[in-house]
Amino acid sequence: MSAPAPNPVVAPDHVLALLDRLHKESLTQENALPSTYLASGGFDDLMRDKFIALDQDKCQFVYQLARATGARNIVEIGTSFGVSTIYLALAVGSNLDRLGGEGKVVATEKEHTKAEKARQYWQEAGNDLVTRHIDLREGDLLETLTKDIPQIDLILLDIWAPVALPALKLLEPKLRSGGVVILDNSISSATRYKELLEHLRSPKNGYTNLTLPYSKGLEMSVKL
Ligand SMILES: C[S@@+](CC[C@H](N)C(=O)[O-])C[C@H]1O[C@@H](n2cnc3c(N)ncnc32)[C@H](O)[C@@H]1O
């Protein structure tokens, strides 16, 4: 029998169990969505009670990346119920313990009910481990991210397509040299992210790009 796949996430059992539970709930919801949901009207209404969490293997990759790069300041574009945020907060907490200094995960969610639920899950994970490393900005991120953004090590773009490029452009002046941008669904949603992918891949914008072969694709771009 082969060994289970390794999990890089260093956290107490109750946090690992919480993450497993939330990913399962998210997948159950996604599997019940109509196949046409991306094109359906009332998209925000449909998504208001849905996790749409970043896949577990992608979350583990982003966690590992944040640990490897010693990321202290991360901006999460699209928080929903805060599943990927838990991974980012754990990574930032470990990096601050190891390297010292200050840092935060700036999280963003426009739906108040989703933000409330995210806070509950973070509390369940633990204030010391997770909540205290998160600065949740509630409201439209094109307004909430206009001030008090530190120099950024890592940006996670996990958001509806129309707002992805404007969000990145807003944050780019704060993205450090060597900073990383991760974009979910860069293969399955390549058409919807056309302008964003063109921006990331245009030589004049100074990124190196790699499409990681996760399900539906995960773009990793490094600002040089
Ligand atoms: C794909 S979900 C994020 C999932 C999350 N990263 C996770 O892994 O649990 C995208 C979220 O972005 C939020 N959102 C969409 N447009 C937004 C905007 N303009 N400002 C802030 N949040 C927005 C949606 O309400 C939704 O909850």
Question: Does residue 214 line the site of ligand 1, with CB under 6 A?
Answer: no
Q: Answer yes or no: are the C-beta atoms of 193 and 161 closer than 8 Å.
A: yes
What is the bridge-based pairing of β-strands 218-223 and 175-184? antiparallel
Amino acid sitting at position 123:
Q
Residue 64, pLDDT > 90, answer yes
Band of residue 214 on the pLDDT scale cut at 50, 70, 90? very high
Residue 142, pLDDT > 70, answer yes
Q: Answer yes or no: are the C-beta atoms of 107 and 134 closer than 8 Å.
A: yes
Residue 8 vs residues 48, 61, 121, 161, 195: alpha-carbon distances, Å: 31, 8, 21, 29, 33
Residue 174, pLDDT > 70, answer yes
Residue 168, pLDDT > 80, answer yes
Ligand 1 center to 182 CA (angstroms): 15
Q: What length is written for the chain?
A: 224
Smallest CA separation from ligand 1 atom 18, residue: 140
d(CA 138, CA 111): 7
Band of residue 40 on the pLDDT scale cut at 50, 70, 90? low
Q: What are the boundaries of each domain within the chain?
A: 13-27+43-223
Torsion of CA 182, 183, 185, 191, to 10 degrees: -150
Ligand 1 pocket test, candidate residues 25, 50, 80, 84, most atoms within 8 A of CB:
80
Residue 41, pLDDT > 80, answer no
What pLDDT score does 3 carry? 85
Mean pLDDT of the chain: 96
Ligand 1 center to 108 CA (angstroms): 7
d(CA 208, CA 201): 7
What is the bridge-based pairing of β-strands 218-223 and 73-77? unpaired
Residue 100, pLDDT > 70, answer yes
What is the fold, at CATH topology level, of the domain defined by 13-27+43-223? Rossmann fold (3.40.50)
Residue 62, pLDDT > 70, answer yes
3-state secondary structure of 54: coil
Residue 55, pLDDT > 80, answer yes
What pLDDT score does 181 carry? 99
What pLDDT score does 39 carry? 64
